[in-house]
Amino acid sequence: MTNIAKGLEGVLFTESKLTFINGAEGVLTHLGIPIQEWAENSTFEELSLALLNGQLPTAAQLATFDADLKANRAIPDALAQVITHMPRGVHPMQALRTAVSYLGLLDPQSEDTGAEARRAISVRMIAQFSTIIAAISRAQEGKEIVAPRMDLTHAGNFLYMLTGKEPTAEQTRLFDMALVLHVDHGMNASTFTAIATSSTLSDMYSCMTSAIGALKGPLHGGANEAVMDMLDEVGTPDKAEAYINAKLDAKTKIMGVGHRVYKYFDPRSRVLRDYAEVVANKEGKSTYYQILETIEKVVVERIGSKGIYPNVDFYSGTVYSDLGIRKEFFTPIFALARISGWCASVIEYTGDNRLLRPDAVYTGVTDAHYVQLQDRQ
Ligand code: ACO
């Protein structure tokens, strides 16, 4: 009997030096360094460069990378026009997918799949995703697109382009930390999709467009938005316990909990929960936080034994919501961070490329013959 690895669970298809996960113990490291240390000490720019280079950068390397990102923040006018004319009401992930694909049309280097080109395009895309996502938000609100500022960090500049207002140092730091937590996560569905596309020696824009499509689904990046929908549906903290019990009784999946790899607390959700707790202690518990606390308690009590615990999406939405970001933009913000992980993984994989081509066990009929159309029932 042939074993089928449904969902490719446990299938090892490549080697990687970027990210290590121990799902049973809730451990996540990048380049061997625990995610908690990255979140506490580092920045989006530094972790992105570290993954692209496969090592912690020197101060000089980081300064050059930072300058490169800043120099590439602006998006072509033609793309800004396309974004402005996109239909209102489309999901921002649809808009992002289209915008990134269009950006590829405008990049004369886009068809170059050599290692140097892949890296140069990665730097541009890491810089420009931020501008594109902010522009999509502004256009959907019928507001002027805000040009990037060169004196702000990647996180600070994004918040500035989104709102038109310079964020506080605290908001910038918080958003930067959230980006750091989302930069990479091993062979998740979107990274795998990016790699699968790259394995055909397709171009970086095609890889990233495919990855955006994979991230969009509610079982992956779309879960953070679904968590907020759930919190809005619950309404008030006193209704949370009955709501979740009813969902679990009906065997409905709860968004923001469970993970293919983690069978214990996702360490990223702990960092975000710690932050939420600090805010709660300072400013009092928000309604969202109180609902999440109850949901976490019930889930862990009832299905923790199945390895179901909160994942990164459980608390991330409340952090973004504290920053005044609309829930439709939670998944694009995930992409804004994950672009670095996608690019680094594609660069690593294509450095020793092999076409990805798995197989399926054929279970259809084997002895059929063609029947003419007029003879079919
Ligand atoms: N709520 C309730 N029960 C769950 C959940 C959940 N979210 N997730 C899994 N279970 C249950 C399953 O019903 C199953 O129960 P059973 O053994 O009695 O049949 C058991 O736990 C094992 O679940 P699987 O479906 O085999 O786990 P899988 O690894 O396929 O699922 C997944 C992982 C898809 C993430 C799932 O947990 C889920 O749908 N979660 C909600 C969506 C979500 O939050 N996604 C974000 C993931 S993190 C990220 O992408 C950033």
Domain boundaries, the chain: 15-218+327-350, 223-322
Report the separation in Å between the CA atom of 110 and the middle of ligand 1, taken as the mean of its atom positions.
37
Pocket flag, ligand 1, residue 223 (CB < 6 Å):
yes
Instruction: Collapse the DSSP code of 221 into the 3-class scheme (helix H, G, I; strand E, B; otherwise coil) and give the result.
Output: coil
Pocket flag, ligand 1, residue 230 (CB < 6 Å):
no
Domain spanning 223-322: CATH superfamily: Cytochrome P450-Terp, domain 2 (1.10.230.10)
Minimum CA distance residue for ligand 1 atom 49:
220
In whole angstroms, give the CA distance from residue 61 to residue 349.
23
Q: Provide the pLDDT for residue 80.
A: 98
Pocket flag, ligand 1, residue 306 (CB < 6 Å):
yes
Q: Say which residues have a Cβ less than 8 Å from residue 307's Cβ, sequence separation at least 6.
A: 258, 262, 263, 264
Pocket flag, ligand 1, residue 313 (CB < 6 Å):
yes
Pocket flag, ligand 1, residue 295 (CB < 6 Å):
no
Q: Which amino acids are annotated catalytic?
A: 220, 259, 313
Instruction: Collapse the DSSP code of 310 into the 3-class scheme (helix H, G, I; strand E, B; otherwise coil) and give the result.
Output: strand
Report the separation in Å between the CA atom of 253 and the middle of ligand 1, taken as the mean of its atom positions.
7
Q: Distance from first CA to last CA of the chain, Å, rounded? A: 35
Q: What is the CA radius of gyration of the chain?
A: 22
Pocket flag, ligand 1, residue 337 (CB < 6 Å):
no
Q: Where are the alpha helices (DSSP H) in 72-217?
A: 77-84, 92-106, 115-140, 154-163, 169-182, 189-198, 204-215
Q: Provide the pLDDT for residue 207.
A: 98
User: How, if at all, do strands 19-22 and 27-30 pair?
Assistant: antiparallel
Q: How far is CA 254 from CA 54, 182, 259, in A?
A: 36, 21, 11
The ligand 1 atom nearest the CA atom of 253: 1
The ligand 1 atom nearest the CA atom of 182: 51
Instruction: Collapse the DSSP code of 29 into the 3-class scheme (helix H, G, I; strand E, B; otherwise coil) and give the result.
Output: strand
Pocket flag, ligand 1, residue 258 (CB < 6 Å):
yes
- Counting Cα atoms < 13 Å in the Cβ hemisphere of 346 gives 37
Q: Which residues pair with 19 in a beta bridge?
A: 30
The ligand 1 atom nearest the CA atom of 227: 44
Residue that the structure tokens 């909160």 belong to: 310
In whole angstroms, give the CA distance from residue 267 to residue 78.
41
Report the separation in Å between the CA atom of 73 and the middle of ligand 1, taken as the mean of its atom positions.
37
Report the separation in Å between the CA atom of 291 and the middle of ligand 1, taken as the mean of its atom positions.
20
The ligand 1 atom nearest the CA atom of 311: 48
Minimum CA distance residue for ligand 1 atom 12:
253
Minimum CA distance residue for ligand 1 atom 46:
220
Which of 231, 306, 309, 316 is the best mutation target for the ligand 1 pocket, counting ligand atoms within 8 Å of the beta carbon and taking the most? 306
Global confidence as pTM = 0.94
Closest alpha carbon to 259 in 186, 330, 196, 197: 186
* Angle, helix 115-140 to helix 330-350, in steps of 10 degrees: 170
Fold of the domain built from segment(s) 15-218+327-350: Citrate Synthase; domain 1 (1.10.580)
String of DSSP letters for 89-124 = TS-HHHHHHHHHHHHHHH-TTTT--SHHHHHHHHHH
Q: Provide the pLDDT for residue 84.
A: 97
Which of 187, 243, 303, 331 is the best mutation target for the ligand 1 pocket, counting ligand atoms within 8 Å of the beta carbon and taking the most? 303
Mean pLDDT by runs of 10 across the 377 residues of the chain is 88 97 95 97 98 98 98 98 95 98 98 98 98 98 96 98 96 96 97 98 98 95 91 96 97 94 93 85 85 95 95 90 91 97 98 96 96 96
Pocket flag, ligand 1, residue 255 (CB < 6 Å):
yes
Minimum CA distance residue for ligand 1 atom 27:
260
Report the separation in Å between the CA atom of 252 and the middle of ligand 1, taken as the mean of its atom positions.
10
Report the separation in Å between the CA atom of 257 and the middle of ligand 1, taken as the mean of its atom positions.
7
Provide the CA 11 distance to its chain's centre, in angstroms: 22
Closest alpha carbon to 344 in 132, 198, 222, 210: 198
The ligand 1 atom nearest the CA atom of 248: 2
